[in-house]
């Protein structure tokens, strides 16, 4: 079983989208350049064809980015909720934030919360709107854990 610390969750919340944004910018600039070249040399169709290819790449990159945005919107909102949850557990049990481990990077029913200093595992039960929770003691079958810091 893998457990995650607050430090790991906060560090890995923001996905690196820089490369895809750079590809979108390059495709847009290439499209603009070929459009200008085509307008200057109207009888040379190679610039029009290259501009169409650049437009297709731009649409491909933008479509890929939009699809990722739609797919990860819910997951990101849940992963943003896990950090305040861990801090709340640490405050309630009067332990350091680093002593609270969870087995999921998103806030959902049934995740296992391990409070390191107490050596106890708890199962999370959330209410319908994720505003309150209860913890009940859980017993893990496999005690070998991998902790991601």
Reported as a pLDDT band with limits 50, 70 and 90, residue 74 is: low
Identify which has the larger pLDDT, 94 or 10.
Answer: 94
pLDDT tens digits, 123-149: 999 988 878 889 999 888 877 777 887
Report the pLDDT value the prediction gives residue 117, as an integer from 0 to 100: 64
pLDDT of residue 31: 85
- Distances, alpha carbon 99 to alpha carbons 15, 18, 32, 88, 92, in Å: 25, 33, 53, 12, 12
Q: Are 4 and 102 in contact (CB under 8 A)?
A: yes
pLDDT tier at 118, thresholds 50, 70, 90: low
14-54 tens-digit pLDDT:
555 677 778 888 888 888 888 888 888 877 778 778 888 88
pLDDT at site 123: 93
């Amino acid at each position: 079983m893998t457990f995650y610390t607050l430090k790991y969750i906060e560090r890995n919340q923001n996905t690196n989208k820089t490369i895809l944004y750079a590809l979108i910018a390059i495709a847009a600039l290439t499209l603009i350049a070929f459009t200008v070249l085509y307008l200057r040399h109207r009888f040379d169709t190679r610039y029009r064809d290259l501009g169409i290819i650049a437009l297709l790449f731009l649409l491909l990159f933008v479509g890929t980015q939009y699809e990722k945005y739609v797919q990860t919107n819910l997951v990101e909102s849940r992963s943003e909720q896990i950090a305040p949850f861990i801090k709340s557990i640490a405050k309630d049990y009067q332990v350091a934030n680093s002593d609270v481990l969870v087995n999921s990077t998103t806030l959902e029913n049934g995740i296992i919360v391990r409070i390191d200093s107490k050596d106890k595992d708890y199962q999370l039960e959330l209410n319908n709107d994720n505003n309150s929770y209860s913890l009940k003691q859980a017993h893990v079958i496999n005690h070998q854990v991998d902790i991601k810091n």
